[in-house]
Structure 1
Amino acid sequence: MKPNGEEERGQLRAHKNTHLKLMLTSLSAMAAETSTFPIDLTKTRLQLDSSSSSTTNAFRVASEIVREQGPLGLYKGLSPAIIRHLFYTPIRIVAYENLRNAVVSADGDGGGGGGSLSLSAKALAGGFSGVIAQVVASPADLVKVRMQADGRLVSQGLQPRYSGPLDALNKIVYTEGFGGLWKGVFPNVQRAFLVNMGELACYDHAKRFVIQNQIANDNIYAHTLASIMSGLSATTLSCPADVVKTRMMNQAAGKEGKIIYNSSYDCLVKTVRIEGLRALWKGFFPTWARLGPWQFVFWVSYEKLRQIAGLSSF
């Protein structure tokens, strides 16, 4: 049985809305990534620091970067980060919303807003969406981490490994094979599951809680409160996996083919044994300090762009 004209128009509308959401998500993600990238760079440098010294902190690391490379040094690796978010963020955000609305519709709730879903169901939808997005975006994430880590070589008076994103991509494929672009994908996927489980589910749930309890309307105040809560939960859950992911992705085989960590589990064990359990939360403050503003910029701009485009609230 062929769909009637009304059904065809509905399918066309849904298809067009999906493309529009992908575009709006990309724009919001680019704005959020650009504004918070210096904090992300500082976090990466902290996580790569294998010393157990308590004198290393985010402010000192950022100050050293500015002193040795100038203010633009805080944006080393921005281009692959932007490229990553052109894939990662649209996929995870739109996939989560579609999964959420599909489950709600299957339960017979025509509202499609996700208000009837439990927090655990939203967490699973968020985690699954993050996994799909991260597998696709992992090569760009690898290039970003390698370029951010290159700044440490420059500060030590050494030659950086890569001159730019394309050079990094070519050298990784040449020396480590095509599969090398997905180095660290397992801890990367673990982190993505935890981040999106905390971020998407918590933002969605917190925003609806704020609105339903009349703490604020569906506006910038509700979006701000929800983004703060989601940033905190996502950081707490994901920081250990983020540390492992960063170290796994940064290591490259030496001339003799030797590497420091054989697997993400090996990296986890060695990190805890050598540096202590607290090392798994290295970079916690700059991670949270980045996720909070990142989510504020992203969600406020995304919700506003949806409103301008005539779409319903997330």
Structure 2
Amino acid sequence: MEASQTGIQTQTQTQTRFRIKILLTSLSAMVAETSTFPIDLTKTRIQLHGESQPLSSSSSSSSTRSTNAFRVASEIVREQGVLGLYKGLSPAIIRHLFYTPIRIVGYENLRNFVSSDGSLSLSSKALVGGISGVIAQVVASPADLVKVRMQADGRIVSRGLQPRYKGPFDALKKIVAMEGFGGLWKGVFPNVQRAFLVNMGELACYDHAKRFVISNQISDDNIYAHTLASIMSGLSATALSCPADVVKTRMMNQAGGKGGNVMYKNSYDCLVKTVKIEGLTALWKGFFPTWARLGPWQFVFWVSYEKFRQIAGLSSF
């Protein structure tokens, strides 16, 4: 009888810790996303820069002009005001309410399932991280699609045209009406590819780097160790994922009606056309703002998440 009650208490405590982890990851992700969203918007605009579009000659010449992160951000502020830097924030927050808890908590559970003490090789952690990211991205892909479309709408507004969508729910409604329910998962394949690479680099590298720093007595399990680990994971995640991120952004931005023509048939076609028209380096368009966002994002997220876990009485990640 006592053993049965003990088992029930243990199960209840496990479920409670699981729910707390989900809450803390969501909260930490919202803080990190809000802090770094202007950089993400700038990165998206740069990745779409140079893409062939049926514009007027003046717009066309403008689209071929060289660009950089500072110029793009300055144009956004000049044309739309400071709030223009947060265009698409609401779907980004909604996305992270699904994406981040699934990948973070999923990674931790899978890691502990495979090895109770978490002492896996870097390659094993990379695989676990990639799988967690794929599952999370499939669930969150519709919100990611809406975010990209709303971020890209700023370019339309800058040309004096009406934006395609009034808000995230209007975007969802119009996408389903024009492109079908499956249209919400447009670009899901390059999205999943990117998620696998990002989480393979981010989660595995953060986990491994933090344990390396602590085990080699470079630092205790504190903000210094978390900062070092987040910087290292941000660089590896950016280098691995940037090409897939460019393809994902372009695939998700193209809106086509049922039976209508689209610029890219699939992610491979987008990859080939991008390289053919703009060169191989185009696959790393937005590398600096991507890294500049991933670094601060991970710093804010991991420091917040580790601190929240400590306050909640949970062990370190």
TM bracket (short chain): over 0.9
Q: Which residue of 1 aligns with 2:224?
A: 221
1:233 to 208, 232, 236: 236
Aligned partners of 2:227 and 2:299 also within 8 Å:
yes
SS at match of 2:165: coil
2:110 to 77, 99, 107: 99
Following superposition, the deviation at residue 11 of structure 1 comes to 1.3
1:70 and 2:92 are equivalent in the alignment = no
Following superposition, the deviation at residue 125 of structure 1 comes to 0.4
1:153 and 2:156 are equivalent in the alignment = yes
Q: Which residue of 1 aligns with 2:98?
A: 87
Structure 1 CA distance, aligned partners of 2:285 and 2:49?
A: 9
1:174 and 2:185 are equivalent in the alignment = no
Normalised to the residue count of structure 1, the TM-score between the two structures is 0.95
1:28 and 2:39 are equivalent in the alignment = no
1:259 and 2:262 are equivalent in the alignment = yes
Structure 1 CA distance, aligned partners of 2:170 and 2:293?
A: 28
Q: State the AA in 1 paired with 2:288.
A: F
Aligned partners of 2:254 and 2:262 also within 8 Å:
yes
Distance 1:256 1:97, change over 3 A: closer
Q: State the AA in 2 paired with 1:183.
A: K
Runs of 4+ in 1 over 4 A off after TM superposition: 51-54
- Structure 2 unaligned regions, length at least 5: 52-62
Structure 1 CA distance, aligned partners of 2:225 and 2:213?
A: 6
The share of aligned pairs that are identical, in percent, is 81
1:144 and 2:147 are equivalent in the alignment = yes
Q: Which residue of 1 aligns with 2:15?
A: 15
SS at match of 1:4: helix
Structure 1 CA distance, aligned partners of 2:212 and 2:7?
A: 34
Which is further off, 257-266 or 48-57? 48-57
SS at match of 1:288: helix
Structure 2 CA distance, aligned partners of 1:249 and 1:76?
A: 16
When the two structures are aligned, how many residues end up with a matched partner?
306
Normalised to the residue count of structure 2, the TM-score between the two structures is 0.94
1:211 and 2:222 are equivalent in the alignment = no
Structure 2 CA distance, aligned partners of 1:190 and 1:29?
A: 21
Q: Which residue of 2 aligns with 1:190?
A: 193
SS at match of 1:262: coil
Distance 1:2 1:142, change over 3 A: farther
Q: Which residue of 2 aligns with 1:109?
A: none
Aligned partners of 2:178 and 2:258 also within 8 Å:
no
Structure 1 CA distance, aligned partners of 2:162 and 2:259?
A: 20
Aligned partners of 2:45 and 2:72 also within 8 Å:
yes
